[in-house]
Amino acid sequence: MSGMSRQRQLAELWLTRARELARSVDVEAVRQRLEQTLDERHRETLADLGRKGDATVRRLASQADAFAKKLQSGQSAAADETPGKEAGSSLPLGGASSVGEVAKVLGDRLNGTLTRWADKANDVAAIVQGPAAHGGDISDPLVDGVRKAGTSVAQQWQTLAPKYLPFADAASDDLPLNRLLRLSLFQISVGMAMVLLTGTLNRVMVVEMGMPTWLVAAMVSLPVLFAPFRVLIGFKSDTYRSFLGWRRVPFIWMGSLAQFGGFALMPFALFLMSGDGRVVGSEFAGYLGAALAFLLVGIGLHTTQTAGLALATDLAPESSRPRVVALLYVMLLVGMIGSSLLFGVLLDDFTQIKLIQVVQGAALATMFLNVIALWKQEVRDTARTDPRVAQPTFRETWDAFYEKGQPLRLLIAVGLGTMAFSMQDVLLEPYGGQILHLSVSSTTVLTALLALGTLAGFGLASKVLDQGLEACRLSTVGVVVGVAAFVLVLFASPLSSPWVFRVGTVLIGLGGGLFAVGMLTAAMALADDGDAGLALGAWGAVQATAVGVGTLLGGGIRDLVSALAGIGTLGPNPGASYAGYGVVYVLEVLLLLATLAVLFPLARDGLGGRKRSRDRFGLTGFPG
């Protein structure tokens, strides 16, 4: 009896496992998975696998049936002494009362289960063979339903994306969103370099390494010296002859190498400058090495950015070019914010070893990001290497560009407005701490408020440009907002109101964002296929130079006026600290008014009578 009970338990265990295994085959999921993920090339291969699987399952079923018959014939013919009624009530095997009957029932059920598996395998094989058998038309209702559902989801996603996803409408069939975002990685590297030069290293050199402020300012200003050459870089990338058929990629690659070399050299040169060298004359070598390192980084970031923006313009359709370039500049802002936070965390506990690791890590990140950004972006065109094709000179190209509208007036407006908005860059946080007596944490928030205002400016620009507002008119709105912002900052001290100062800070970012978007869009409206590099190079040269000059003038004028007020040159006890800041902010207001005067004819008449662009500006994902 005990042996018979063990046989029954074993039979029940076999049956339970067979049922669980049969239920684990989800044909519906297999069908959906195959239909969604496989293409035509692999379906024939899977059809062969399905046929082989069908044959294997049927062979297993035949073997199981033979095993059941053998088991039944080899068992003892002695009947089970337990009454059949009781056995039938205690066994879940159709009332089998002997080992032979148990084996037969078990074999039949296992055979049936394996047969069902074979049928399911046939169904899967029919699915994967369907396209080859019916010319790609699968008439299976389940497959048709899955296909319709997938099409519906795709259509709804295409409708949803331009409305809710940032920059989705900047993409096109020629430049999909994933490829566009990958291309924008070079702006992340440029933003990282700008933060490292003007923020992290600026503070480290003055505070931790004890270098003179004037020397640090001179080193940080070296990259600006190369900014005027951006127009020449853009022109050369337009007319470059490459045996590989590329125009933009060689310039981006050489710019990346220069930026990498500058970062690799920089930390060691800084240590020599600080007097940590063990060799006589090492401090002078440190000066030369640091100057070379900062200059290399400046050459690299200006070259990479100019050629990269021109490449994006080449790849994007004409209707979406301003939106694409604007997306890349927003990615620059994202790179600056993200890298500043990362550098702050990594250098929280400053050591020389950590500085070496961070700066050289930035060098590696530059190459990594830019290689990914460039991979399979520019199409090779060997026709450009034909020596029989005459290339225009810089003068000829500039004259043709100048005749398209009023680029000189536009570039003057870019220079004046950018200088006005950038003079406060080094004064915002000191003004809050020294004049309004804000804490360190409170002044740190000002940078976030400025960035928030800039992003809000992009969002507002997307709406008004989508509604047809002309780009130069948008820039005039930004200038007016900037004037109001600087007036609020000026009155924050007499009112002793930090909140007025914070509102003014947000408005500075808002006005600067509107102005920058409008000027960039207007510059791109003047560019054609053959001179996109020249147009962006001219815009970038003026913009970058104005930022450097404005920052230098802002700090210099503030120090000069404060010193004169402190010794009584400006009158008895005028409030030396506030006088220095006040003069700079008043000068910024005057520069914005001059910008408004230059922009007014462009806003009234357009760019030389050219058709006003009503293209949507691909920033609909921003707030506002």
pLDDT of res. 488? 92
CA dihedral 200, 203, 206, 212 (to 10 degrees): 80
Lowest mean pLDDT among 50-59, 159-168, 218-227, 587-596: 159-168
pLDDT of res. 549? 85
pLDDT of res. 365? 92
The stretch 35-52 carries a mean pLDDT of 61
pLDDT tens digits along 601-613: 888 776 554 444 4
Burial of 201: CB neighbours in 10 Å, binned 0-12, 13-18, 19+: buried
pLDDT tens digits along 546-596: 888 887 788 788 888 877 776 655 554 545 567 788 888 999 999 999 999
pLDDT of res. 368? 93
Lowest mean pLDDT among 70-74, 125-129, 302-306, 478-482: 125-129
Structural domains present in the chain: 2-153 (no CATH), 179-388 (1.20.1250.20), 392-624 (1.20.1250.20)
pLDDT of res. 78? 42
Residue 375 has pLDDT above 60, yes or no: yes
Measured between alpha carbons, how far is residue 224 from residues 10, 221, 460, 544, 617 in Å?
Answer: 84, 5, 30, 7, 30
Banded model confidence at residue 71, pLDDT cuts 50, 70, 90: low
Which token pair is 467?
Answer: 């509604």
Q: Check if the beta carbon of residue 535 is closer than 8 Å to that of residue 410.
A: no
Select from 540, 531, 523, 526 the least CA-distant residue to 236: 531
Residue 177 has pLDDT above 60, yes or no: yes
The stretch 207-215 carries a mean pLDDT of 72
Q: Check if the beta carbon of residue 474 is closer than 8 Å to that of residue 464.
A: yes
Select from 291, 327, 288 the least CA-distant residue to 308: 327
* Alpha-carbon gap, residue 2 to 431, rounded angstroms: 94
Residues in the chain: 624
pLDDT of res. 124? 54
Banded model confidence at residue 38, pLDDT cuts 50, 70, 90: low
Which token pair is 406?
Answer: 């009023």
| Share of residues in the chain with pLDDT > 70 (%) | 61
3-state secondary structure 176-211: CHHHHHHHCHHHHHHHHHHHHHHHHHHHHHHHHCCC
| Share of residues in the chain with pLDDT > 90 (%) | 12
pLDDT of res. 621? 35
Q: Check if the beta carbon of residue 599 is closer than 8 Å to that of residue 413.
A: yes
pLDDT of res. 47? 64
CB-based contacts of 46: which residues, under 8 Å, 6+ apart?
34, 38, 128
Residue 144 has pLDDT above 80, yes or no: no
pLDDT tens digits along 80-114: 444 444 444 444 445 545 555 655 666 666 666 66
Burial of 26: CB neighbours in 10 Å, binned 0-12, 13-18, 19+: exposed
pLDDT tens digits along 151-165: 665 555 455 445 544
Select from 224, 299, 219, 307 the least CA-distant residue to 258: 299
Banded model confidence at residue 481, pLDDT cuts 50, 70, 90: very high
- Compute the C-alpha angle 324/328/329, nearest 5°: 120
Residue 325 has pLDDT above 60, yes or no: yes
According to DSSP, residue 139 is labeled -
Q: In angstroms, what is the C-alpha Rg of the chain?
A: 36
* Alpha-carbon gap, residue 429 to 294, rounded angstroms: 25
Q: 74: part of which helix (H) or strand (E)?
A: none
Q: Check if the beta carbon of residue 55 is closer than 8 Å to that of residue 47.
A: no
Mean pLDDT score across all residues of the chain = 73
Which token pair is 99?
Answer: 């080992």
Residue 239 has pLDDT above 60, yes or no: yes
pLDDT tens digits along 335-355: 888 887 788 788 777 788 888
pLDDT tens digits along 378-425: 777 766 656 667 777 777 777 777 777 678 888 899 999 999 998 887
User: The pTM is what?
Assistant: 0.61
Which residue type is seen at 316?
A
The stretch 177-194 carries a mean pLDDT of 86
* Alpha-carbon gap, residue 125 to 106, rounded angstroms: 28
| 145 alpha-carbon distance from chain centroid | 36
The stretch 135-139 carries a mean pLDDT of 47
DSSP string, 371-382: HHHHTT-SPP-G
Lowest mean pLDDT among 5-9, 202-206, 344-348: 5-9
Higher pLDDT, 444 or 194: 194
SS3 613: coil
- Which residue is associated with the tokens 């946080």? 429
CA dihedral 320, 324, 325, 326 (to 10 degrees): 100
* Alpha-carbon gap, residue 483 to 585, rounded angstroms: 10
* Alpha-carbon gap, residue 122 to 443, rounded angstroms: 71
Higher pLDDT, 595 or 44: 595
DSSP string, 292-320: HHHHHHHHHHHHHHHHHHHHHHHHS-GGG
Which token pair is 132?
Answer: 């080859």
Please give the biggest Cα pair distance in the chain: 127
DSSP string, 337-370: HHHHHHHHHHTSS--HHHHHHHHHHHHHHHHHHH
Higher pLDDT, 459 or 528: 459
According to DSSP, residue 91 is labeled -
Which token pair is 419?
Answer: 């200088």
Measured between alpha carbons, how far is residue 189 from residues 26, 185, 494, 540 in Å?
Answer: 48, 7, 42, 17
